[in-house]
Chains A and B, each alone.
Chain A
Amino acid sequence: MKNTLLPAVDEETRQALNVDAHSARIAQYLSLFILIPLMWEASVWWNDTPAAVLPAPSTIVSAFLQEPNHYLASARLTVTVVLAAFVIATVTGFIAGVCIYYIRFVREYVYPLLTAVTVVPKVAFAPAIIIWLGLGMSSALALALLIAFFPIMVNTYTGLQSVDEDYVDMVRSYNDSRLFIFRTIRLPAAAPQLASGLKLSMIYSIVGVVVAEFLGATDGLGQLIIAASRYARTVEMFTGVVIVAVISVVLYYSTAFVTSKVIYWES
């Protein structure tokens, strides 16, 4: 899901404002964060929409401020599980991708099976995982791991494949060790692909944890949203959804920021 993140502000506006492209972009997004809630607020007031259908942003914010600990405790739990799943998926997915690249048997016989699995919706395994691990955070972790693992594995492998073999030949003339070639040539060449895998699987971890919490959990944001919707506590439900949205934006852009700093040569 590569995308042209934060599309640039157009050139004329930028020059008219006499700011550099980066701060112009940030300004555009900040104004958006102010403008959209304002329009939402205005439309709710204008149409006199009942809070049971669509609560205004101010209602959501005040609901959050009334009992911040209620939301923050759930959010903390969800984020912890998301990050744990992300880290484990990154390590295992990376190792799997390297194995697929270097071990011929795995590449030719196991990898085709795994690519077939990538097409199957992994969320379907959620009830089976709940039978195995119970209604808890371990189920959420397992489902998130299952979903987040594949993009890292596939992107590590295809990234390693994308290496220009001429460079490998050149380095081989200095040092023939496989590890050296991996470290100096293959890994840096695979890094951009790996980075997009990381961003994707961060989002997938969130999907996994939230869906598992939807299905059955004693805590966490997904459970908060589902419980609120079951008892028609609409404001609480919307607050939960907004928090999930904010968390995904923050986690995604943090991942994008960190990877772009590590792979400084790509931007």
Chain B
Amino acid sequence: MELHSRLQLGDGKHSQVVESFISTSHRIISAALMVILFIAIWELVTSVFGISQRILPGPIDIWSSLVSFQDLYITAAIDTIDSALFGYVLGAALGIGFAIVFNEWDALRRMFMPILVLTFVVPKIVFAPILILWLGAGVRYFILVPMLLVFFPVLENTLTGLRTVPDGLKDIGELYQSGKWFNYRNYHLPHALPDIFAGLKIGATQALVGIIVAEFIAPEQGLGQLMIISLGRGDTVFLWGSIVLIGVIGITLYKSVELIESRVVFWHDGVTNR
């Protein structure tokens, strides 16, 4: 629908759309070829040099392990994804919510900002053992660790977006005397959306980091547990099967957020690098 309407904008735009389409497909094809090449080299290296499976299993070994133990992998992966997504959604909602509150009540922001700035710098993952102590290695712990890692980047980026709303937009709100929440919905939040998504994308990777490390230090569930058990037994194939799954989950999660971004913030090129 959107592509269709853009195609009718005139010749210049038309060729631009076609060109970007061609370069996108070229990019995808070359990326796919590189992945295949990479896997082929990996397989060749492991089989030609006779690297033992304990050191580095080849892609075929990993694949057959993934297929023959798929129930084991899927159960573990679902637990991991479950906690990561729960933590992600909670952390993102709280981050955006707190950013709005801080933006509304400036005194509150001034009071808390210095603490938050210091917290941005401290790796939140060191707090995981404290959470185990307080909550026990249960459901709450596995949700809270990713939540903690998502909350801060989302809060930080949302606040940046809200605080850089140009005065012109604020003036429009004043001029029409539209209500505060109307202004939020129509001026402030849309202006902050690119920044919010920048935070959400950082959060997408951080959520997975959080749940994996949480499962490493309290191996009670998920792919982290599977990896710790196979590390203890020296069963490297399971380790690499889990790494592959985590990679796939990570890329899928990130790309999904990116896809939502391109739909929601269609007017913006995205703030990836600033």
Task: List chain A positions with a Cβ less than 8 A from chain B.
Answer: 1-7, 10, 28-29, 32, 36, 53, 108-110, 112-113, 116, 119-121, 123-128, 130-132, 158, 162, 193, 203, 206-207, 210-211, 214-215, 222, 225-226, 228-229, 232, 234, 237-238, 241, 244-245, 248-249, 252-253
Contact = CB atoms under 8 A, between A and B. Distances in A.
Contacts of B54: 131
A225 B126 contact: yes
A249 B118 contact: yes
Contacts of B134: 53
B251 interface: yes
Across chains A and B, which 8 residue pairs bring their CB atoms closest together, nearest first? Answer: A229-B129, A127-B231, A121-B209, A119-B254, A120-B247, A124-B246, A252-B121, A207-B123
Nearest to B218: A229
8 contacts: A7-B114, A120-B250, A131-B54, A131-B231, A214-B217, A222-B126, A225-B126, A249-B122
Contacts, number: 136
A3 B117 contact: yes
Given A32-B114, A124-B242, A226 B130 contact: no
Contact of A241 (B126, B228, B234, B247): B126
A229 B132 CA distance: 8
Contacts of B55: 131-132
A244 B234 CA distance: 31
B262 to A, nearest CB: 16
B45 interface: no
Contacts of A215: 216-217
Contacts of B117: 3, 5-7
B239 A127 contact: yes
A132 B254 CA distance: 29
Interface string B94-113: 00000000000000001001
B122 A248 contact: yes
B216 A126 contact: yes
Given A127-B216, A229-B132, A252-B121, 5 more contacts: A121-B246, A124-B243, A127-B227, A127-B228, A214-B216
Nearest to A199: B121
Interface of B: 27, 30-31, 34-35, 38, 54-55, 110, 113-115, 117-118, 120-123, 125-127, 129-130, 132-134, 153, 156, 160, 202, 204-205, 208-209, 212-213, 216-217, 227-228, 230-231, 234, 236, 239-240, 242-243, 246-247, 250-251, 254-255, 273-274
A128 B126 contact: no
Contacts of B212: 121, 123-124
A1 B272 CA distance: 11
Nearest to A109: B34
B265 to A, nearest CB: 19
Given A248-B122, A252-B121, A7 B113 contact: yes
Contacts of B231: 127, 130-131
B273 A109 contact: no
Contacts of B156: 1, 3
Contact of B114 (A29, A116, A207): A29
Given A127-B239, A130-B231, A193-B273, A203 B113 contact: no
A204 B178 CA distance: 45
A226 B219 CA distance: 13
Nearest to A25: B114
A6 B217 CA distance: 33
A252 B128 CA distance: 21
B239 A113 contact: no
A4 B34 contact: no
Of residues B34, B55, B202, which shows the largest number of chain A Cβ atoms within 10 Å of its Cβ?
A: B34
Nearest to A209: B123
Nearest to A119: B254
Nearest to B242: A124
A158 B273 contact: yes
B165 to A, nearest CB: 15
Contacts of B243: 124-125, 128
A245 B120 contact: no
A120 B212 CA distance: 11
A50 B132 CA distance: 17
Contacts of B115: 32, 36
A199 to B, nearest CB: 9
Contacts of B247: 120, 124
Given A124-B242, A226-B217, A245 B31 contact: no
A208 to B, nearest CB: 9
A110 B254 contact: no
A88 B122 CA distance: 22
A1 B251 contact: no
Contacts of A203: 121, 123
Nearest to A157: B273
A133 B188 CA distance: 51
